[in-house]
Amino acid sequence: MRIKWLSNMLVAGLTMPFVYWALCSFGWALIWSHVGTPYCGAAAPNIVLIFADDLGYGDVSAYHASDVRSPNIDRIAAEGMLLTTMRANCTVCSPSRAALLTGRYADRVGVPGVIRTKPEDSWGFFNPQVPTIADELKRHGYHTAIVGKWHLGLGSPNTPNERGFDFFHGFLGDMMDSYTTHLRHGQNYMRRNHEVVQPTGHATDIFTDRAVDYLRERAQRKEQPFFLYLAYNAPHFPIEPPEAWYAQVRTRAPQLDDKRARNVALVEHMDDGIGRVLRAMRELGLEENTLVVFTADNGGSLPHAQNNDPWRDGKQSHYDGGLRVPFAIRWPGHIQAGSRSDYAGLNFDLFPTFLELAGGKPPADIDAVSLVPILTGQSIKQSRDLYFVRREGGPVYGGKSYEAIIRGQWKLMQNDPYSPLELYNLQSDPLEQVNVAGQHKQVVNQLNTALRKHIQRGGATPWQAP
C-alpha cells in the first residue's frame, strides 16, 4: 500500500507541473487571445487616459504633414496603434466627457449640452445614479484619479470625488479666462479633492506636474493598478501659450499669422507635457504594464485658428471637422507597434475597453462597444448606428437640441434645430460636400426614424438639476 501511495504521489508530482503549464499555456491563451500576449498570472494594466480639449485632427502630426510638431503624441501612435476614424461623442465639451465616463450617449446621462458656471446658460445635469468608469474600475481594485478639467458639475453630488475618483486635482469649471490666473468669471474653481487651492503657473504645467506626482505615488504601490484621467484644458481658448513657446514657433515659422502661431505653440507646449508624463512612466518602471490612450473631446475651433484638416468645419458642428478626433493607444507587448485601424468608433468605447481589460464585464445597458478586438488586429463585426446630440441656448439654438446619426455610409444631420436635415454619403463623399437628401428620401426617412428613438431614450433622463 505504501509503495502504491508513493507511486501515486510521484505520478502526481510529475503531472501537476504539466497540468499547471497546460493551464497557463492554453487556459490563459483562451482568456487573453483577444487582449495580447498570453502569460500566466496576468495583471490588470494601469490605465492612463490623456484627454485634450478642442484639439483638431489636423493639429497632430501623426496623421499628415502639419505646422504643429507633436512628437510625444506621435510616439504613442508609433509605439502602439493609430486609429484614423474615431469620433468624439459630441461637438462640445461636457456631453463628450459625460459619454466618455459612462459609456452611454450623453442625453441618456442628463448632459445633452454644456454645463456652465452660470445656471441660466447651463444645459445639463450629470445623472448621479449612473456609474462612471472610475466607479467600475474601483470595484475591480483600481485606485482612480483625475487631474485637469472636470466640467461635469460644480458641486455635490457631481464633484469628481463623488463620482468614483479617489483623487482630484484640477478645475471644476467649463473654461479658464486665463491659463495663468485659473479663474472663470472671477471665481476660483481649482480644487485638490474638496479643498480650494491656488496653484501658480500655466495650467498645462500645473496639470502635468500633478500627473507626474501621482505616478510617483503609485509607483510606490505597484501591487494596486491605477486609472489616471489626465484632462488638459489645452488647447481650448483663450489661446495663451507660454511666451517662450510662442517665441520658439515664431522663430521657426515666421510666415504663420499671429493667431495660428499661438495655437501651434499651445499645442506643442501640451505635447511637451505629455512627453514628461511618458518619461516619468518609463523612469518609474510603470511603462510596460500601462495602457496609454490619447484623444480629444471634439474638433478644433476654427475662429481660434485650429486645424481639422481634411474634414469639414469644426467645433460645434456635426460635420466631421467637429467630430473627428485624434486617437492613439499604446500598451507594450499587447498592441502591435506602428499598427493602424480605420474602425469607426466613438470615444466612449473606451469605457467597456478599460473594464474588459481590468477583468470586468460592462453593464448591459451601455451604448459603447469594447475596442479590445481592434487592439489586437482583429475586427468588430457588430454594426451599430453612431448618434450625436447637442443642446444649446441663445437665439441660434433657442434651448433646443440638434442631432446627427451615422449608419454605414450614410450620415443624417443638422447644425441647428431650425435647418433642414442634410444627408451625406461618407463613402463617396467623405468631405461632406454634396447634400443628397433630395435624392435619397427613403434613407432620410429611415435614419430620421432611428433618430426619434434616440431622442425618446434621451428624454427619459432630466437634464436640469432637481
Let me know: does 372 contact 381? Beta carbons within 8 Å: no
Instruction: Clarify whether 34 is annotated catalytic.
Output: no
Q: What are the C-alpha distances in Å from 338 to residues 82, 328, 365?
A: 8, 10, 34
**Strand 190-192 relative to strand 195-196, pairing:** antiparallel
Contacts of residues 218-223 at CB distance under 8 Å and 24 or more positions apart, as own/partner, are: 218/46, 218/143, 218/286, 219/284, 219/285, 219/286, 221/143, 222/285, 222/286
CB atoms within 10 A of CB 156: 10
Place of cell 472671477: 186
Question: How many other β-carbons are positioned within 10 Å of the β-carbon of residue 22?
Answer: 10
Grid cell locating 103: 459609456
H-type helices in 329-459, by residue range?
Answer: 350-357, 372-375, 394-397, 441-459
Q: Assess contact for 404 and 95: CB atoms under 8 A.
A: no
Marked catalytic residue, from 40, 64, 90, 93 = 93
Angle, CA of 120, 455 and 104, to the nearest 5°: 85
Cα 88 to Cα 322: distance, rounded to the nearest angstrom: 8
**Which amino acid is present at 3?**
I
Q: How far is CA 159 from the centre of its chain?
A: 19
Contact (Cβ atoms closer than 8 angstroms) between residue 142 and residue 358: yes
DSSP letter string, 290-322:
EEEEEEESS---GGGT---TTSS--TT-SSHHH
What is the distance between the terminal CA atoms of the chain, rounded to a whole angstrom? 77
Active-site option among 151, 169, 236, 334: 151
In 18-142, DSSP assigns E strands to 46-52, 81-83
**Counts of helices then strands in the chain (DSSP H, E):** 13, 16
Contact 173, 117 (CB under 8 A): yes
| Alpha helices, H only, 2-111 | 2-22, 28-32, 71-78, 93-102
- Reading the block at residue 433, the C-alpha cell is 460636400
- Determine whether 151 is an active site residue: yes
Angle at 186 between CA 180 and CA 192, to 5 degrees: 60
In contact, 318 and 87? CB cutoff 8 Å: no
The catalytic residues are 93, 151
